[in-house]
Chain A
């Protein structure tokens, strides 16, 4: 089937998410849709799958005008989407997830599980998508979950397949497998839209590339006739420095030492087993790994948010036993949490209130009982100015800031005070390119000034660009360690558990 979008526009309040977008995909073709966070890619695809209604414009499938009021109608017309955050119910089985909403039934609405399983297995063998139909989703690695998502849309006879940032959660090896899968699908005659912000991926797998910026299509390129730099400039709208300059600094004494650290979950399953990690002065230690391999728990343990089961954590040569987050903060260890909205900031607090989140009890801001709001305000103003947080007042609530500005506020709060060690988790997630550059520079500057930095990121590119040393987490263990100039492919293999 052939898909054509005609002059699609969509606004949310004053924000124009999409304006006058035209694009086409043929059967047997992979179209790359390249754009930054917030460029309007996801909005466009939600329009195509019937989740949003466009303000104007039309959708044509095989030259026929279509209008989708809900996802089911889009499904019926052969449009299926694999969402960035998988739309799978964790406590359901693979089969249950696949058939949900289109269940084969017998008498009294009873689900015909045998029939369903047969169909699932048939699709799975036809397109080489290996899954166990009885397994629960929550027990599966993300790579397999993605296959379930693909089978789910094929089960609904989708001919036009949309993938939204499909590689964000995959290991480099899983990415290779995924590329094989979509090439297979292409051979089977499906029309495929591949949405991503990763340049090399579109160059590798797409037949044609459309670049989206601020809700508009700003260019169409063919992979053979373009390159990374050109695409990046189209995507961002100005010249971009893709490399952070990093001078070599001699590393100093050990700041953080972790010995034999283990953590068990509530069900007594090991989340972390026998970790040994050292972080030095003047060093950025990168933690690479696919999300969910113990990095979050590791950082929670380091920052006092999670109890350890055994082993030792020592800061600056002294062991920390059952230290609270506050004690660790008082040691000069600063923590940029992985989810700024969930952990780092209180969305409904003003910027001033957020600035004192982990220091409100200190002499500067209180006399043990009453808070000193005027000092807090001064501090907020100082940080807002110094860290280039774009806002017109320190009294607005944090939710009103853009993602990049929220992150700058957070980083400002953590890095503006005396600091010996920085633990930064996903510091650039969901942030625009300008802020990414800024944040990377701040991190490198901190390291140059003699601070040890522990950098946790699922973006391997970021880890490689910044780190002096890289450790790879796999199933709660440090599976490998690499110098900064290691081959990304080998790191990728380690992320997939190959040692």
Chain B
């Protein structure tokens, strides 16, 4: 029951907010034109397929100046629309503006040159994989209310195990052992936080430092002197018949290696598991209200152990991507913060596997963008481009966290009384 006075007040707040957002969008459009639109000449050529493809698409050619001008104008238009109409939900306009800004940026960077759009999208998917897997590992743990800051370390351990065992036993066994090593660290984390009630963040940080130390130590002591132990056969990409021949989409989704396919599989299966099955229901109950679960005969301790180990195994699999899925050799600290970015993706995706996957694709995009733009030789120093995924992470964590609700019992040790 909201009476008139309250409603006026409510509208007031709403218009004030839309005014701010609208004005900043207009300003944003202006800035985009100023930075990218002014003085830009020529056409931007985006290649959509290779000439050898069975169904080759023509190149996408955009006149740089007019495209950037148009994008900037559209962003400003959205801003004006938000101010005038004060719609309830402006997320869609903000997302569109963001998209246009990225497009304008790409066109500016490509002006007068040619750039493979399909190649970048393919790289986006590839680079999203470890982030998405880290996020899935995070979801498994956080859904049972265990914060896993140690995912970075688990990825690193998986990468190392994949390289070492892959070199000895071949890539398949290497992969399996990487998963087991990840699960092992999951077990250690669970033992520390569940059994010994170590603060979850401290335990995670300790695992990260430990893995960084031990993998670097073994790299220097073992791998440097025996290079044959750091040369694993990688998983080649598998072309899925017919589907892989679809223009653009075929290369992006169906000419990838098993890590991409399994990642999507894990996302689907964990969604089903968490939200449709009895075990999933119990797991979520443990994360939300462990005492309630315990009174119904669900063992909080066992549930937490199982899921943190599962999370560790997923992280181990994700870690193997760095070695068995891409370069075949291990380098010290090669995961480069992907575990933490995965946690940000988890938050952005609101602890839902599908949401986290999309968030991971966004981060993967930022990651591949910096990699591909280096080829185009833009005036932006490569170091700054390399910061893109980290900056996006900070923005996401700062912008989203206020609205997203983690499982209620998160971070708290469960003390079983008796």
Contacts and interface: CB of A to CB of B under 8 A. Distances in A.
Do chains A and B make direct contact within the complex (CB under 8 angstroms)?
yes
B62 to A, nearest CB: 42
A87 B278 contact: no
Contacts of A52: 417-418
B277 interface: yes
Size category of the B interface is 20 to 34
A361 interface: no
Interface string B59-97: 000000000000000000000000000000000000000
Interface in B279-309: 279, 281-282, 284-285, 288-289, 291-299
B2 interface: yes
B417 A88 contact: no
Given A105-B277, A109-B277, A110-B276, A92 B288 contact: yes
A280 to B, nearest CB: 27
A333 B72 CA distance: 55
Given A105-B277, A273-B1, A262 B9 contact: yes
Contacts of B289: 87-90
Nearest to A272: B6
Interface string A73-105: 101000001010001111110001001111101
B13 interface: yes
Contacts of B299: 70
A87 B298 CA distance: 13
A51 B277 contact: no
Contacts, number: 102
Contacts of B417: 46, 51-52
The dominant DSSP class at the B interface is: helix
A100 B298 contact: yes
A475 to B, nearest CB: 8
B281 A87 contact: no
B5 A100 contact: no
B225 interface: no
B288 A264 contact: no
Contacts of A87: 289, 291-292, 295-296
Contact of B2 (A91, A260, A270): A270
Size category of the A interface is 35 or more
B3 A273 contact: yes
B296 A102 contact: yes
A89 B407 CA distance: 11
B277 A110 contact: yes
A268 B13 contact: yes
A73 B10 CA distance: 53
Interface string B1-19: 1110110011001000000
A52 B417 CA distance: 7
B297 A96 contact: no
A91 B288 contact: yes
Contacts of B288: 89-92
A89 B296 contact: no
Interface string B253-284: 00000000000000000000000111101101
A71 B296 contact: yes
A100 B286 CA distance: 11
B408 interface: yes
Nearest to A102: B296
Given A87-B291, A88-B289, A111-B276, A101 B9 contact: no
A440 interface: no
Contacts of B3: 273-274
Given A49-B295, A75-B297, A89-B292, A100 B6 contact: no
A309 interface: yes
Contacts of B282: 100-101
A91 B287 CA distance: 11
Interface string A31-50: 00000000000000010010
A208 interface: no
A183 interface: no
Of A52, A53, A88, A111, most buried by chain B (CB within 10 Å of CB) is A111
Contacts of A71: 294-297
B277 A260 contact: no
Contacts of B408: 90-91
A262 B5 contact: yes
A100 B281 contact: yes
A7 B227 CA distance: 71
A198 interface: no
A92 B9 contact: no
A268 B10 contact: yes
Contacts of B279: 109
A115 interface: no
Interface string A195-215: 000000000000000000000
Interface string A13-47: 00000000000000000000000000000000010
Nearest to B275: A111
A262 B294 contact: no
Nearest to A52: B418
A270 B295 contact: no
A72 interface: yes
A228 interface: no
Contacts of B293: 100-101
Contacts of A99: 281
Contact of A51 (B276, B281, B284, B418): B418
12 contacts: A49-B295, A70-B294, A71-B296, A100-B282, A101-B297, A105-B278, A109-B277, A262-B9, A273-B3, A274-B3, A274-B5, A310-B9
> What 5 A-B pairs come out closest when comparing CB atoms?
A72-B297, A101-B296, A87-B292, A103-B278, A109-B277
